[in-house]
Chain A
């Protein structure tokens, strides 16, 4: 009996101590980690979709509430006008889990400026081409922001990567989802973008 109590007490104390240590460390590093993710994961993708941008889109970002979710938006200035908007999107329907994307839209013409895959676990050489092969991202350029984006097999206009229909479909899903958010929050987004120079 005494031994049982001792086991429980010792394990509880050890777990509490390590839990407390990790919680404190997480609190302390959270901000830095968020910045690192911005710089190394989202930053390159945002700069890539905003080709020829004249400001730093990572610095001029804002957040809006979409339902109960906070979403980040990045603003790109072109020829002195803030007309590029990049937002994050993701789909859990990838071949191996979640695919994260940056989708950029031109708010003046309501067309897609470009997309860039940020995080994925897809098969190297097949699904991973969604990130590594610029030709795939190219296909999304200029599409309208109103309608859903689909692969040709589903009656859409995007030619799926050969051997990676599931990945291509997930990317289309994520883009469609991002466009939905954009349409829904458009008045607030335009309001916020006015402030960016």
Chain B
């Protein structure tokens, strides 16, 4: 059970990578992975919220009475989500417009809530910070991987920052289906399958 601190961090990158292994936080996974920019923007926002809510909750875990812990967790998570929202509006407004409703929806995303309940409320600040960072970065990587696949096949280009960069030549016929919601489900299904095959070894 006792993991080293390094393992606490790296488990989020592979063994417990949120959308593929824990299968949590699927709403934004399906909705915003249509461009790479959206995907890593969302990932960074979730990483921030997850890390800081983990820090706050683990620091307060001995003070918070067990009966009201869920309320306290939600207050902590909602606070950091509002911080992200305000900062994004002030500094990266165009990204904020694209992510729109999915930023406030981080509050009800199962990842921060799940980590608060399952991890941060039981372990110390250092471990919880590493746990939050690891899972957040894992989530970012997973979203980006999904988005790279979807965006390249669906549009033939890739959006790293604001403007799309063409990757497949003009003769490429865009497979538009993948941008739409059903395409997201199919891509996620394929990814989950690949992860299961790789995980069997």
Give complex CA distance A154, B43 in Å: 48
Which stretch of A20-28, A53-61, A163-171 is in the interface?
Answer: A20-28
Asked if A157 is an interface residue, CB under 8 A from chain B, the answer is no
Count of residues in B whose CB is under 8 Å from the partner chain: 22
**18 A-B pairs (CB sep. < 8 Å):** A3-B67, A7-B65, A7-B67, A10-B63, A11-B68, A11-B71, A14-B72, A14-B75, A15-B75, A21-B83, A22-B83, A25-B83, A26-B86, A29-B86, A33-B89, A36-B93, A40-B93, A40-B94
Contact B86 A33 (CB under 8 A): yes
> Which residues in A have their C-beta under 8 angstroms from that of B64?
10, 14
The smallest beta-carbon distance between B24 and chain A, in angstroms, is: 24
**CB within 8 A of A10: which of B68, B89, B93, B94?**
B68
In the complex, the chain A residue whose C-beta lies closest to that of B101 is A121
Contact B75 A18 (CB under 8 A): yes
Asked if A126 is an interface residue, CB under 8 A from chain B, the answer is no
The smallest beta-carbon distance between B58 and chain A, in angstroms, is: 14
- A11-B68, A18-B76, A40-B93 given. 7 additional CB < 8 A pairs? A7-B65, A10-B65, A10-B72, A11-B72, A22-B82, A26-B86, A33-B86
Asked if B79 is an interface residue, CB under 8 A from chain A, the answer is yes
Q: Which residues of B pack against A, CB within 8 Å?
A: 60, 63-65, 67-68, 71-72, 75-76, 78-79, 82-83, 86-87, 89-91, 93-94, 97
In the complex, the chain B residue whose C-beta lies closest to that of A19 is B79
Q: Nearest 6 A-B pairs (CB), nearest first?
A: A18-B79, A36-B93, A32-B90, A29-B90, A33-B89, A40-B93
Give complex CA distance A6, B82 in Å: 27
> Which residues in B have their C-beta under 8 angstroms from that of A25?
82-83, 86-87
Asked if A138 is an interface residue, CB under 8 A from chain B, the answer is no
The smallest beta-carbon distance between B66 and chain A, in angstroms, is: 10
Asked if A190 is an interface residue, CB under 8 A from chain B, the answer is no
> Which residues in B have their C-beta under 8 angstroms from that of A3?
65, 67
Give complex CA distance A26, B67 in Å: 31
Give complex CA distance A50, B89 in Å: 26
The smallest beta-carbon distance between B52 and chain A, in angstroms, is: 11
